[in-house]
């Protein structure tokens, strides 16, 4: 499974995996792989195609979540200025996604909102 981020993570570190994983005591550099896209829509298109996991911005993916094209794998972090979702397309390898989600949530006190 690959982790995706768009290039705004470089300009705004709070939008990247490192900012999301650091409070969990994890490092993005420990991931098997990470692809970075020039545009946010490319990042989300890869997740929609079932190619991996992406950090989504709720206002921009709300419709994808509502119609089931993307599935939030973890609840948003409880921070008033931002929220993150762990996303995978419906054709993603469910066993791999479940294992990754269980491991990631096991590093926190969070519980999944959807499976």
Question: Which of 38, 46, 59 lies closest to 87 in space, CA to CA?
Answer: 46
Give me the CATH code for the 2-106 domain, please: 3.40.190.10
pLDDT, averaged across the chain: 75
The domain ranges of the chain are 2-106
Q: Place 1 in a pLDDT band, splitting at 50, 70 and 90.
A: very low
d(CA 18, CA 48): 22
Does position 33 have pLDDT exceeding 90, yes or no?
no
Mean per-residue pLDDT for 94-98?
Answer: 87
| Backbone angles phi and psi of 53, in degrees to 5 | -115, 140
Q: Any idea of the CA torsion for 84, 89, 95, 97, to the nearest 10 degrees?
A: -20
Whether pTM > 0.75 for this model: the answer is no
Q: What is the DSSP letter of 50?
A: T
Does position 96 have pLDDT exceeding 70, yes or no?
yes
Tokens describing residue 37: 């896209």
Question: Which of 56, 49, 114 lies closest to 83 in space, CA to CA?
Answer: 56
CA 100 to chain centre: 11
d(CA 115, CA 108): 17
Tokens describing residue 88: 């995978």
């Amino acid at each position: 499974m690959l982790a995706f981020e768009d290039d705004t993570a470089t300009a705004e570190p709070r939008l990247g995996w490192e900012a999301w994983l650091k409070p969990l005591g994890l490092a993005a550099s420990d991931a098997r792989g990470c692809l970075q896209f020039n545009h946010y829509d490319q990042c989300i298109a890869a997740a929609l195609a079932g190619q991996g996991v992406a950090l989504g911005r709720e206002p921009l993916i709300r419709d994808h979540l509502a119609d089931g094209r993307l599935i939030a794998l973890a609840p948003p972090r409880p921070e008033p200025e931002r929220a993150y979702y762990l996303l995978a397309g419906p054709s993603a390898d469910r066993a791999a996604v479940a294992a990754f989600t269980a491991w990631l949530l096991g590093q926190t006190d969070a519980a999944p909102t959807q499976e």
